[in-house]
């Protein structure tokens, strides 16, 4: 119905225009033209209003496309800037961690280099990490790897020119000579994939939770006096010859980022012992 009315309306306008054209030579033509113009003016305005948005879109299509390209370029530039800022922030954090690590260890560890953990072994029970330093930086198999406060984290087991693998002290294959600071009793500190156990401590040795465990120089595989952990549980089974002692590592082995490798240490040689007094 609406379409029919619109067609009739425009047909009427068309025929009115033809009539004005035919009567234009007559004296009354001017008056008729003015009246007809006034009559059709609303329709003309309506048509103009209807097509105006379409006209604007066509006229400004180029500008819209240009603005879209500019917005896309700005978004890319913003993403690059944010990535650069994140990289700078991570670099600053790594530098601060390395400086704090060096300051906490001091000169007692001898010659050291800083290294960053770049990979962690995901296998269950395997506790090892890969560092971004290798033989070019002086890293050798058997060198201790330290965390904050000269705490032992692990020992280097594999090395190439630019990378090295460290077996953490909680690994199932880890076994190091250790001693109880309070009694000076030695034992074997072994990992089970999650925690540490100090084995071969006789039943008659007094051991209590909180006792500090240090590295021992027995065997010459580690420098003496490095902090390792604190006793958390003690059990003395009646039918066994040794106590069952659980030790918590002092280093945070789950969140290692920056470490120190004792490049001045050679297994089987003497170095100046680290302090054996824990605060």
Is 96 in the same domain as 119? no
Whether the model pTM is above 0.85 = no
Phi, psi (degrees; rounded to nearest 5) at 246: -100, 135
Q: What is the pLDDT of residues 245-255, one digit of tens each?
A: 999 999 889 88
Assess whether pLDDT exceeds 80 at residue 221.
yes
Neighbours of 97 (CB within 10 A): 16
Rounded Cα–Cα distance for residues 106 and 152 (Å): 14
Residue 187 lies in a domain: yes
Q: How many CA atoms lie within 13 A of 68 on its CB side?
A: 6
Q: What is the pLDDT of residues 166-217, one digit of tens each?
A: 999 999 999 999 999 999 999 999 998 888 999 999 999 999 999 999 999 8
Q: How many domains does the chain have?
A: 2
Q: Quote the domain boundaries for residue 237.
A: 110-261
Q: What is the pLDDT of residues 122-144, one digit of tens each?
A: 887 789 999 999 999 999 999 99
Is 86 in the same domain as 145? no
Residue 255 lies in a domain: yes
Is 118 in the same domain as 231? yes
Q: What is the DSSP string of 199-216?
A: E--BTTS---TT-EEEE-
Q: Which run of H or of E encompasses 176? A: strand 175-180
- The pLDDT, as a whole number, for residue 167 is 97
Q: Are 183 and 207 in contact (CB under 8 A)?
A: yes
Tokens of 254: 């789950």
Domain boundary, last residue among 77, 108, 139: 108
| 114: helix, strand or coil | strand
- The pLDDT, as a whole number, for residue 185 is 94
Tokens of 166: 């460290």
Most confident by average pLDDT, 1-10, 24-33, 61-70, 209-218: 209-218
Is 138 in the same domain as 226? yes
């Amino acid at each position: 119905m609406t379409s029919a009315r619109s067609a009739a309306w425009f047909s009427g306008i068309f025929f009115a225009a033809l009539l004005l054209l035919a009567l234009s030579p007559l004296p009354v033509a001017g008056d008729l033209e003015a009246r007809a113009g006034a009559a059709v003016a609303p329709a003309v305005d309506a048509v103009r209003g209807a097509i105006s948005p379409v006209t604007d879109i066509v006229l400004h299509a180029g500008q819209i496309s240009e603005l879209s390209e500019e917005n896309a370029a700005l978004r890319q530039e913003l993403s690059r800037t944010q990535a650069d800022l994140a990289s700078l922030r991570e670099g600053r954090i790594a530098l601060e961690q390395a400086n704090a690590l060096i300051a906490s260890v001091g000169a007692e560890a001898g010659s050291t280099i800083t290294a960053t953990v770049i990979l962690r072994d995901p296998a269950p029970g395997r506790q090892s990490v890969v560092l971004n330093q290798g033989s070019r930086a002086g890293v050798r198999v058997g060198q201790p790897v330290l965390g904050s406060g000269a705490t032992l984290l692990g020992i280097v087991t594999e090395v190439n020119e630019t990378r090295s693998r460290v077996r953490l002290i909680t690994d199932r294959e880890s076994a190091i000579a250790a001693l109880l600071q309070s009694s000076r009793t030695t034992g074997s500190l072994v990992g089970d994939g999650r925690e540490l156990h100090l084995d071969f401590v006789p039943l008659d040795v007094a051991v209590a939770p909180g006792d500090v465990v240090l590295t021992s120089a027995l065997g010459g595989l580690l420098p003496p006096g490095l902090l390792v952990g604190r006793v958390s549980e003690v059990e003395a089974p009646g039918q066994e010859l040794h106590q069952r002692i659980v030790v918590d590592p002092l280093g945070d082995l789950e969140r290692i980022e920056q470490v120190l490798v004792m490049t001045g240490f050679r297994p089987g040689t003497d170095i100046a012992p680290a302090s054996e007094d824990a605060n």
